[in-house]
Amino acid sequence: MTTAPSVRRFGILIATASAILTACSPSSDGGGGPPVQQQPIETVSSDFNFTATGTFTVGDSPANATFTGGVATGGMWVIPDGQTGVISFTTPTRDLSFTVEGLDANSAAARFAKTALPGAFRKTTCGISDQGFDNTEPFGTEMFVRGGFNDWPALPAAPQNFVNFGDGTLQAEFELTAGEWEFKIASPGWDVQYAPDPATQGTLQAGGPALTMEDTAPVGPNGSMNIPAEGCYNFLLNVADPAAPTIALTEVEIGGGPPAAPGATEITSYDTTGAAVDEAAIEDTVKTTYSVTRSGPTTTPVKRVEIFADNGDVGIDMISWQVNPVDIPATADVTISYHSASGDYSNTTIEFEGQSYACMPDAGNAFGCSATVSAPIGGSIVFTVTNNGVTDPTGTFIGGPIPDGGGTTVTVFSGNPDAVTGATTTSKALLKAVESALKNSQTQRNRFHGND
């Protein structure tokens, strides 16, 4: 019998009604006019089937939400252990749910996120746990790393065995001593064996490129690998093409000290006043659903959710929330200031919420060009820029949250999608300050996309 995942709620009385505000029946205006129709409640959902790092948005304004921290891995939003992911809703919601799942550090999603956010993830032990897939696929037999480092064992065993991750890859991970070692990937009886030919592929290096292996059964050249220092190493076997699998080697950083005490994934929902209205601690690592409903005419909706990963890396999947028209925020005027290294702002437009706004060059070309738009208060502002009909290659720019009162400036630079919100001038002095503020986020995005 499967034990139901435990969600421990504490400290705050929450509403548990099963629906948002009950829709009112059409009514008359009292003067014989036509019935007044209530706008429908909108449901927004996402399975994170895209890739993004840093800050990104889901949905269309004003029914959108901004996600900060972690990585969208093409099927999951991953938050590293010890870090916090934040969801900010442009229009606060009264009905929200998403799934939470603890991740194996070597799962496909965690490995993708580790590449996107270098240094954010750290293992505490060397080795890989079984993933529940058939470890004999696609070779029809279990495979092992065998070589001079373990005296070419007649009976190979864990941890040199490969574990199937179900995504076209298998992994083995274990401790190795320094040296240059001959090796093969082989079955227990040597009837199936592969190796990269050093004459054509060179030596397998930690952190180096993946090498293509060839079938060496019954007798063929051994591969060669270089282990620079004693430590934990991961072998990644890609079998997308079983006839020509590739092998890559990575040194695994292991955190020092004793293993951390078991914690929990801590989730806190805040309303429009900033007060915490729901708290939960999810101690299980199996997939669990978190949900909160805020019903009633005097109940405040949820504006922000914070997710603190304190029980290993966390994956968020299948988020869904409802947007009630009565909660849509008012708007405020926002000035978007755009700077491009080309200095050409002729026929430049800001594309925001389906409308085009002329971006007028600043006097004396002090910064670039500017346009004023109306954006929801408390939400993000998401837009693109075109010049002479060509969209800026940066793609989508994201700024916010937009404060109340109007007069806010959102400043963006071509080449960096992250905007600086709250600036009050577009002088050349600001140019230097904003470029400095954006430096770290641009460096992180360059790493994510593999740029120098």
pLDDT tens column, 130-162: 877 889 988 999 999 999 998 898 888 889 999
Report which of residues 117 and 335 the model is more confident about.
335
Please count the residues of the chain.
Answer: 452
pLDDT at 444 over 70: no
pLDDT attached to residue 127 = 87
Q: Please state whether the predicted TM-score (pTM) of the whole model is above 0.85.
A: no
Take residue 311 and report the two structure tokens written for it.
Answer: 């029980």
Angle at 446 between CA 444 and CA 452, to 5 degrees: 125
pLDDT at 343 over 50: yes
Is residue 200's pLDDT more than 70?
Answer: yes
Q: Of 9-13, 116-120, 128-132, 387-391, which one has max mean pLDDT? A: 387-391
How far, in Å, CA of 384 to CA of 396, rounded? Answer: 5
**Which pLDDT band, with edges at 50, 70 and 90, does 219 fall under?**
confident
| Domain range 125-252, CATH architecture | Sandwich (2.60)
Average pLDDT, the chain: 79
Each residue's pLDDT tens digit, 17-48: 333 333 343 444 444 444 444 568 899 999 99
Give the residue, 257 or 324, on which the prediction is more confident: 324
β-partners of residue 370 are: 337, 360
Q: Percent of the chain at pLDDT above 90? A: 40
pLDDT: which is higher, 191 or 108: 191
Query: Is residue 202 pLDDT above 90, yes or no?
Result: yes
- Residues contacting residue 182 through CB under 8 Å, at least 6 positions apart: 147, 148, 222, 223, 224
**pLDDT of the residue at 119:** 47
Q: What is the pLDDT of residue 253?
A: 77
Domain 331-437 in this protein, CATH class: mainly beta
Ranges 168-182, 371-385, 434-448: which has the least confidence: 434-448
Which residue type does 106 have?
N
Q: Rounded to the nearest 10 degrees, how much is the dihedral formed by the CA atoms of 190, 193, 196, 198?
A: 30
| Per CATH, domain 7-21+40-108+261-327 is 3.30.300 | no
197-201, 297-301, 446-450: least confident range:
446-450
Q: Which of 179, 178, 209 is nearest to 196 (CA)?
A: 209
pLDDT at 450 over 80: no
Query: What pLDDT band is residue 293 in, cutting at 50, 70 and 90?
Result: very high
What band does 61 get if pLDDT is binned at 50, 70 and 90? confident
Q: Is the pLDDT of residue 422 over 70?
A: yes
pLDDT score of 81 more than 60: yes
Confidence at residue 380, expressed as pLDDT on a 0 to 100 scale: 82
Q: What is the per-residue pLDDT for 190? A: 92
Write the DSSP string, 198-248: HHHH--EEBTS--EE-EE--SS-PPEEEEE-SSEEEEEEEE-SSTTS-EEE
Please report the pLDDT score of residue 51 as a whole number.
86
Phi-psi region of 388 (alpha: psi -120 to 50; beta: other; left: phi over 0): left
Q: What is the pLDDT of residue 255?
A: 62
Structure confidence at residue 401 as a pLDDT band (50, 70, 90): confident
Tell me if 125-252 shares its fold with 331-437. Answer: yes
Structure tokens that stand for 235 in this block: 């072998």
Taking 90 as the threshold, does the pLDDT of residue 178 lie above it? yes
pLDDT category, 370, cuts 50, 70, 90? very high
Q: How high is the pLDDT of residue 373?
A: 92
One-letter amino acid for residue 113 of the chain: A
Flag the least confident range among 87-91, 354-358, 388-392, 441-445: 441-445
Q: Where are the domains of the chain?
A: 7-21+40-108+261-327, 125-252, 331-437
pLDDT band at 429 (very low <50, low <70, confident <90, very high): very low
User: In whole angstroms, what is the distance from residue 360 CA to residue 248 CA?
Assistant: 52
Task: Of 293, 269, 292, 278, give the one whose Cα is nearest residue 20.
Answer: 293
What mean pLDDT comes out for the span 49-67? Answer: 87
Mean per-residue pLDDT, 176-180: 94
Cα–Cα distance between 376 and 404 in angstroms, integer?
A: 9
pLDDT at res. 110: 58
Res 55 pLDDT > 90: no
